[in-house]
Amino acid sequence: MHRLRYQTFHHTDFTARELAAEKTRLGHVVSMCLPARDEAATIGQNVQLLRETLMDGLGLIDEILVIDDHSHDRTAEIAANAGARVVGVNDVLPEVGPGEGKGEALWKSVAAAEGDLIVWCDADILDFGPRFVEGLVGPLLARPDIGFVKGFYDRPVDGGAYGGGRVTELMARPALATWFPHLATIVQPLSGEYAGRRSLLERLPFVQGYGVDIALLIDIAAMDGTDAIAQVDLGTRRHRNRPLDELGPQALAVLQAVLSRSPMGLEHPATLVRPNLEPVEIGIDERPALIDLPAYRRRSA
């Protein structure tokens, strides 16, 4: 079977210094966005690292934005002290009413960010480094035809190269293989590390919950074609690993996101019922493309 080959880069293809010069030459503004809920353990060091290695002095990134979602810990305070601009998820576009979930935070970050290039990294990465940003921004600066760059990595905790997490292997890949085989060669379809052009992101709806990562891939391929998507090898990534009982709701959210874009469609939320655990309802709410929202102020650079 013919397998689609995505443009693939390696983070070592790029150096921060060269990227910063190219970014200035092209007149881009780069926003680094970190969605965060209860990430006090990692957010401070990751923000500080970004600021010291890529922002102050070098200017590869122009702002570090943390979208905080009612964290119960000191995430907001620690991130602000480390030099991030911290916004509460409900303080952005208050006229649209409250929403929740990772996707809500990503959508709000597009609205709140200043840049025309947006880079996202999860806030729970333990082995964070400049390579994440170099790798994700690099293809956007090098190639005007690329609109979206999806990160992949080895997950040392699981052994083997190219292995994904449990939700990736047991839900995301089988679901993509069934309904969206043109996305089967995306190495880490659930990675939270990706970057895109505002001109593309503002045309996309955002699933509110954990389904957002895979829904964006499907929607970008549908809207701008698979050639608009590149992948980049970011080396290794370690993050907080969750117990199995927390992965069930995530897997359901991924299934719902894929189904909602499949010919079958999806009309109702579902409730995950498990022995000895409280039932969990997974909603299917989405935010519309920002460009369709009167309150959205378009930034361009």
Ligand X SMILES: Nc1nc2c(ncn2[C@@H]2O[C@H](COP(=O)(O)OP(=O)(O)O)[C@@H](O)[C@H]2O)c(=O)[nH]1
50/123 with CB nearer ligand X = 123
Please state, in angstroms and rounded to a whole number, the distance separating the CA atoms of residues 123 and 60: 19
Selection from ligand X, Mg ion, none that 298 binds (CB < 5 to 8 A by kind) is: none
Instruction: Candidates 50, 67, 146, 252: give the one binding ligand X (CB under 6 A).
Output: 67
Please state, in angstroms and rounded to a whole number, the distance separating the CA atoms of residues 76 and 119: 19
Question: Contact region for ligand X (CB under 6 A) — 100-108, 136-144, 169-177, 225-233?
Answer: 100-108
Least distance (Å) between residue 7 CB and ligand X: 25
**44, containing H or E segment:** helix 43-50
Instruction: Candidates 30, 36, 175, 259: give the one binding ligand X (CB under 6 A).
Output: 36
Distance of CA 98 to CAs 95, 101, 102, 113, 138, Å?
9, 11, 13, 19, 35
**The token pair that represents 169 in the structure block:** 């292997």
Per-residue x/- track, 152-191, ligand X (CB under 6 A): ----------------------------------------
* CB neighbourhood size of 78 (10 A): 23
State whether residue 72 is helix, strand or coil. Answer: coil
Question: Contact region for ligand X (CB under 6 A) — 24-32, 45-53, 117-125, 153-161?
Answer: 117-125
Instruction: Candidates 124, 154, 193, 213: give the one binding Mg ion (CB under 5 A).
Output: 124
Give yes or no for residue 285 binding ligand X (CB under 6 A): no
Please state, in angstroms and rounded to a whole number, the distance separating the CA atoms of residues 80 and 103: 22
Least distance (Å) between residue 240 CB and Mg ion: 5
Least distance (Å) between residue 223 CB and ligand X: 24
Q: Which of 262, 248, 267 is nearest to 175 (CA)?
A: 262
Residue whose structure tokens are 């939320």: 269
Sign of CA dihedral 108, 114, 117, 119: negative
156/225 with CB nearer ligand X = 156
35/147 with CB nearer ligand X = 35
Instruction: Candidates 239, 262, 283, 293: give the one binding Mg ion (CB under 5 A).
Output: 239
Q: What is the DSSP string of 126-150?
A: SS--THHHHHHHHHHHH-TT--EEE
Least distance (Å) between residue 157 CB and ligand X: 12
Exposure of 281 by Cβ count < 10 A (0-12 exposed, 13-18 middle, 19+ buried)?
exposed
Instruction: Candidates 10, 51, 74, 239: give the one binding ligand X (CB under 6 A).
Output: 239
Give yes or no for residue 116 binding Mg ion (CB under 5 A): no
Least distance (Å) between residue 2 CB and ligand X: 31
Residue 89 CA from chain centroid, whole number: 16
- Binding-site ranges for ligand X (CB under 6 A): 35-37, 39, 67, 69, 89, 100-102, 105, 122-124, 192, 239-240, 242, 250
